[in-house]
Amino acid sequence: MGTRTSPPVAGRSAGTAGRRTLMLTLATLGFVVNFWAWALLSPLGPLFKDSLGLSAFQQALLVAVPVVVGSIGRIPVGALTDRFGGRVMFPLVSAATIVPVLFLGVWGHSSLPALLIGGFFLGIGGTTFAVGVPFVNSWFPPRRRGLAIGVFGAGMGGTAISALTTVALVDAAGITTPFTVTAAVLALYAVAAALLLRDAPDRTVPAGSPARRLAEAARLPVTWHASALYAVAFGGYVAFSVYLPAYLRTAYGLTQSDAANRMAGFVLLAVVMRPLGGWLSDRLGPVRVLTASLGVVTAGAALQSFTPALMPLGTIAFLAMAAALGAGSGAVFALVALLVPPNRVGSVTGVVGAAGGLGGFVPPLVMGALYGAVSSYALGLAALAAVAATALLFTTTTVHRATKER
C-alpha cells in the first residue's frame, strides 16, 4: 500500500507529452553524466598499468571496483527513490559523485591503494540507474514504458564519452584534466536537476521502511528472473566496456588510443540498440527480443574465443555482441515494466540493476586472472558463450511461462 503525491491521472499518462519528454531528457542526461564519471578509470587502465607497474589482475581490479560498488549501491538507492522520488535523488547522487572524481584527479592517481579508494566511491555514479528507471516508469503509460526506459537506458553511453575524451584530455593537458572537467559537468547537472526535475503527479509513494519494500520485491519471481537475465545482458556490456581496451591491447597489440576508440564504438552501438530493444519489446514482447539477443551473444562469444583476425571476423563478433547486449538490456526492463507493480519498480530495479553491475564486475577479474595464468583469453570467452546459452534456455522456458501467466 502507499499514498499518492496527487490525484491519479487517467491511464497513468501523467502530465502532458511535452512534460514527459522533458523529464525523460533530463533523466537521460543525468544517467549520461554520472556514467561518464563512473567509467573514468577504464580508459586509463593501461596508463596506470604502465606507470604503476600493475599486474593484469590489478588492472582488472582497478576498473572493476567502481562497477561493483555502483551495482550494490543500486539496491538502497532504488528503495530510496521509491520513497523520495527522482527529483531528490538525481541531484543528490550527482553532487555526491563529484567528491571521488576530484579526489582521483587531484590526489588519488599516484598509487594503487589511492586509486582503489577513489574508485570505490566513484561507484556512487553508477547508482543513478536505479534512480532513473522508476522515475521514467512513473511518467509513461504501460504501452510506452519499454521505449521510454530504453531511451533512458541509452544514457549508458556516458561510458563512450569517457572512452573518447579521457585519454585525449590527459595527452593534451595532464592527468587531472578529465576529472576536473567531469566534476564541473556533474555540478552543472546537479543544479539543473534540482531546479527542473519534477516527479510524476500520480507517483505512488509506498508505505513501510526500505527494508520492508526490498523484502517485498524479493518475493516477486520477476525480480530474480530479470536479475539473472540482466546479469548476462547488461553485465556483458559493462564487462566489455571496462575491459575491452586492455583485451584489445593485449590480444591484438593495438595502441591505447586505438583500443579506447574501438571500445567507444562498441559502447555506442550498444547504446543505440538499447531503446530499439525496448521498442521491439513493446511490440513483439520482451521474451522474443531476449531470445534473439542471447542467441547472438552465444555465437559471438564462441567465435571470439578462437581470437580470429580483428578484421573482419573479430570486429563482426564484437559489434554483433554489442548490438545484442544493448537490445537485451532494453528488453529486460521492458519485462520489469510489464510485470512489476509501479510502486515497487524502484526496489525491483535496485536489485536487478545490482545484478547487472555485478555481472559486469566478475568477468574482468576472471579474464585478468585467466590471462595471468595461461596467457589466453579463450577460456573466459568460452565461459561467456556457455553462460549466454544457459540464459537463452532460461528465457525460452521459465521466463516465457511467467509472461504467459500474467
40 by DSSP, 3-state: which? coil
Question: CB neighbours (10 Å) of residue 195?
Answer: 8
**CA-to-CA dists, residue 140 to 8, 32, 133, angstroms:** 13, 20, 11
pLDDT of residue 405: 65
Question: CB neighbours (10 Å) of residue 169?
Answer: 19
What backbone torsions phi and psi does residue 398 show, to the nearest 5 degrees?
-65, -50
Mean pLDDT by 10 residues, the chain (406 residues): 43 64 96 94 86 84 85 89 92 97 91 93 93 90 84 85 88 93 98 95 78 84 93 86 83 85 86 90 93 97 93 94 94 87 81 84 78 83 93 95 77
pLDDT of residue 43: 85
State how far the Cα of 97 lies from the Cα of 179, in Å rounded to an integer.
Answer: 11
| pTM as predicted | 0.77
State how far the Cα of 362 lies from the Cα of 161, in Å rounded to an integer.
Answer: 23
Q: What is the 3-state secondary structure (H, E, C) of 110-141?
A: CCHHHHHHHHHHHHHHHHHHHHHHHHHHHHCC
DSSP state of 107: T
> Residue 115 burial (CB < 10 Å; 0-12/13-18/19+)?
buried
Per DSSP bridges, beta strands 2-4 and 204-206 are antiparallel
pLDDT of residue 1: 43
Contact status, residue 149 vs residue 96, Cβ threshold 8 Å: no
Question: CB neighbours (10 Å) of residue 25?
Answer: 13
